[in-house]
Amino acid sequence: MHKDLYNAALDQRKTEYQKFGNKVDYLQQQNCLPEFKKCFPEYKELGSHALQATLKRVDFAYQRFFKGLGKYPRFKSIRHYSGWTYPCGSGWSIETNSENGYLTVSHLGRIQIRGKARTWGKPTTCTIVYRNGYWYASITVQCNPIRSTGTGAIGIDLGCKEAITLSTGEKINKPEFLKTGQRQVKAASKSLRRKRSPNGNKRVKASRRWKKERAKVSKLQRKVARQREDWLHKTTSKIVSGNSLIAGEQLNVKGMTASSKKGKRKKQKAGLNRSILEVGFDIMGGLLTYKAAEAGGFYLESPTRVLKPTQRCAKCWQLTPKTLKDRVHICSNPNCQHSEDRDVNAAQVNIIWARGQELTSIDAESPSSTACGSMRQLGARKRQKPRPCV
């Protein structure tokens, strides 16, 4: 029913504009809802807020389209409809103390829930999600997440050979399962290509084997995605648990993945780009930011273009040009000649830069704050705002 409402709202916007040149906005559609429910009384049971949330989805799709972020909204089949939302407390209820419990959705029944939330709070919204053939319930709670942290300060450098290098010299390798998973996905996709795929123009239907193989490919892809997410969460949590000041570098992921099409050292860059996407570096900054904020610490990103951490010397701050092939930093400054592993050096440059930022912020606030004090205060101030956690 939510899907039909979505399509109806989309159809209204489309035909009103095409035939009469009227632009229908969200409020107009919301005001139509009571009339709509008179014609289709079965919709009354779904709850007006949930229906409004579905109309908002249509509006959201249009907003994305107008901003140039997405394609023109399409009509959805039930197979591709992603679910619905309860934007307030009505229509659902939850019985739990953060560990296991029951979720009751009106007209659907009481469902057992399993697992544990790290911090629990007041439940606010519930979204039923249908993805990859499975149904999920996503519940947001209003809470104040608190995380413990150490007093250390650490710099990190992301690379293609070792996934993460810390300024202490420790290296975290790219997890093995990514390689295995990719190999499996590749093999399954090859097998999929050999089966009869659907072709609408030639009126060819997909074969049963093709459908089966496609399900296998998406299952494998899902598994790798989940493993990667798990690994990222564990790794970032570990970094935050020991350090309250973390320094990384700004990644221009969009630019980096695009740059592999031309230019010097194309292949190496493509390798780095692939590993950025493979390991999920693009979301790592976000994870570190919120985890550090929860812990009352701070995560800073150095401006890579200006600072050039890979080329700068951590001892004398002099630049030494390098290619991706040079694995060891040997300072070109004759008075320094500092030699260090390339990635460790970059991580050290990052943390030195972050400490410099911290010192300037202390000067601005008060001379009495301690080494990590000002950053901690900033982090704490950030934390005070209750943040919904999913």
Q: Residue numbers of the site for Zn ion (CB under 5 A)?
A: 313, 315-316, 331, 333, 336, 338
Find the shortest distance in angstroms from Cβ 352 to Zn ion.
12
Give the pair of three-digit tokens for residue 35.
């009339």
Q: Is 218 exposed, middle or buried (0-12, 13-18, 19+ CB in 10 A)?
A: middle
Question: Are 291 and 240 in contact, with CB atoms under 8 Å apart?
Answer: yes
Give the integer Cα–Cα distance in Å for 14 and 231: 44
Find the shortest distance in angstroms from Cβ 124 to Zn ion.
53
By beta-carbon proximity to Zn ion, the closer residue of 147 and 329 is 329
Give the integer Cα–Cα distance in Å for 157 and 154: 10
Find the shortest distance in angstroms from Cβ 67 to Zn ion.
46
Give the integer Cα–Cα distance in Å for 345 and 342: 5
Find the shortest distance in angstroms from Cβ 310 to Zn ion.
14
- Amino acid sitting at position 68: G
User: How many other β-carbons are positioned within 10 Å of the β-carbon of residue 52?
Assistant: 17
Give the integer Cα–Cα distance in Å for 328 and 344: 9
By beta-carbon proximity to Zn ion, the closer residue of 283 and 336 is 336
Partners of 142 in the beta sheet? 122, 388
By beta-carbon proximity to Zn ion, the closer residue of 249 and 340 is 340
Closest to 137 measured CA to CA, from 153, 126, 146, 147: 126
By beta-carbon proximity to Zn ion, the closer residue of 253 and 336 is 336
Give the integer Cα–Cα distance in Å for 355 and 145: 26
By beta-carbon proximity to Zn ion, the closer residue of 177 and 317 is 317
Closest to 42 measured CA to CA, from 87, 77, 2: 2
Give the integer Cα–Cα distance in Å for 331 and 315: 9
Q: What are phi and psi of 157, to 5 degrees?
A: -130, 135
Give, as one character, the DSSP assignment of residue 261: G
By beta-carbon proximity to Zn ion, the closer residue of 146 and 316 is 316
Find the shortest distance in angstroms from Cβ 345 to Zn ion.
9
Find the shortest distance in angstroms from Cβ 359 to Zn ion.
21
b vs e for 12-42, b when ≥16 Cβ sit within 10 Å of the residue's Cβ?
Answer: bbeeeeeeeeeebebeebbeebeebbeeeee
By beta-carbon proximity to Zn ion, the closer residue of 54 and 320 is 320
By beta-carbon proximity to Zn ion, the closer residue of 174 and 338 is 338
- Amino acid sitting at position 41: P
Q: How far is CA 102 from the centre of its chain?
A: 28
Find the shortest distance in angstroms from Cβ 159 to Zn ion.
20
By beta-carbon proximity to Zn ion, the closer residue of 192 and 313 is 313
Give the pair of three-digit tokens for residue 4.
């039909």
Find the shortest distance in angstroms from Cβ 127 to Zn ion.
53
